[in-house]
Amino acid sequence: MAVRSCTGFYRQEVNRTAWEVPERYRDLKQVGTGAYGTVCSAWDRRTGTQVAIKKLHRPFQSKLFAKRAYRELRLLKHMKHENLIDLFLLYLVMPFMGTDLGKLMKLERLTENRVQFLVYQMLKGLKVTYSSLTDLKPGNLAINPDCELKILDFGLARQADAEMTGYVVTRWYRAPEVILNWMHYTQTVDIWSAGCIMAEMLLGKPLFKGKDHLDQLREIMKITGTPTADFVVKLQSQDAKNYIRSLPKVPKKDLHSIFSKASSNAVFVLEKMLLLDPEQRVSASEALDLPFFSEYRDNEEDTVALPYDQTVDNTDLPLDQWKRHTFTEILTFRPPTDSRETPL
């Protein structure tokens, strides 16, 4: 049931939850829900397009939730890119994509041409992010009928959030240095995740499907081989060093034997992404320069990450201050103009 709310806003109950959104958005229908928020599709009367509206669950019930909400707002405001979701209003309003990569892979086996286009878009999005996401997985990659991809859920995952590293599906795509807290993370944790996702698209099933953290590591090393001595000395934890040194030596597998139906250019991308040593993995920019993506590459395109001030993100503040910072971000937001918009 929908009712008129305060001036300029429209109130509708969706699955026993009240949604209060600007009047331009109508016909709300729930399309997904998770631990941190619910997403509804809606019709934007100004642009004549379908959008998705995300409502965060109890964003200020704790300092951790408040920090996540603040961080997502800041990141979405900061990043302006065709493969990243934008923030338009008080609610998180974004283009409606229809499905995500996880659901799409369950419905059909993807051709290599589609894999090529999807991974290209994923890397373009990663190229302009300022730091690691640490939660890149098929369910966080939205896909529309034109095979256009957008990365979702910035700010909801943080490398220090222990409960997320325990989430089984996330673990399948997490870089080994994140799973076991081996070392300082760099943006190449996302390159590992992208490689796992690309591998799953080509194989039709997850590449590393560990039952727990240690089993995940064993599954990874069956393919990457056990780490070299040069890598072991880089580990911060002495326990991790001792554990790795205790493992039987396993040689690296030839990825061509695993991905026998894929082109050599596709396998070459995986070889550059799925390296145990994060310092040896390609960056997003380097990956985009590989031959596999030459068909889509625009030599004039030179989009890079914009500077992002993490000062507040990395502080430990009381709940009230997170609320204040979030409110400030909302008040200072200026929606992008849309040439399709017409007066109501």
Question: Which residues are catalytically annotated?
Answer: 135
Tokens of 224: 């990457």
Nearest 10 degrees: CA dihedral of 53, 54, 55, 60? -140
Nearest Cα neighbor of 38 from 16, 50, 53 is 53
Strands 49-56 and 2-4: unpaired
Are residues 273 and 293 in contact, defined by beta-carbon separation less than 8 angstroms?
A: no
**Sign of the C-alpha dihedral, residues 200, 115, 225, 171?**
negative
Instruction: Tell me how far apart the alpha carbons of residues 6 and 115 are, in angstroms, rounded to a whole number.
Output: 46
Are residues 126 and 194 in contact, defined by beta-carbon separation less than 8 angstroms?
A: yes
* 80 in a known ligand binding site: no
| CB-based burial, 175-193: b 16+ in 10 Å, e otherwise | bbbbbbbbbebbbbbbbbb
Strands 92-95 and 49-56: antiparallel
Torsions phi, psi for 23 (to 5 deg): -60, -20
The CA-based angle 314-315-321, given to 5 degrees, is 125
DSSP letter string over 167-184? -HHHHTTS-HHHHTT-S-
Determine the 3-state secondary structure of 150 from DSSP.
Answer: strand
Are residues 20 and 4 in contact, defined by beta-carbon separation less than 8 angstroms?
A: no
Instruction: Tell me how far apart the alpha carbons of residues 218 and 211 are, in angstroms, rounded to a whole number.
Output: 10
Q: The tokens 């929606």 sit on which residue?
A: 335
Are residues 254 and 226 in contact, defined by beta-carbon separation less than 8 angstroms?
A: no
Q: Which residues are annotated as a binding site for ATP?
A: 55
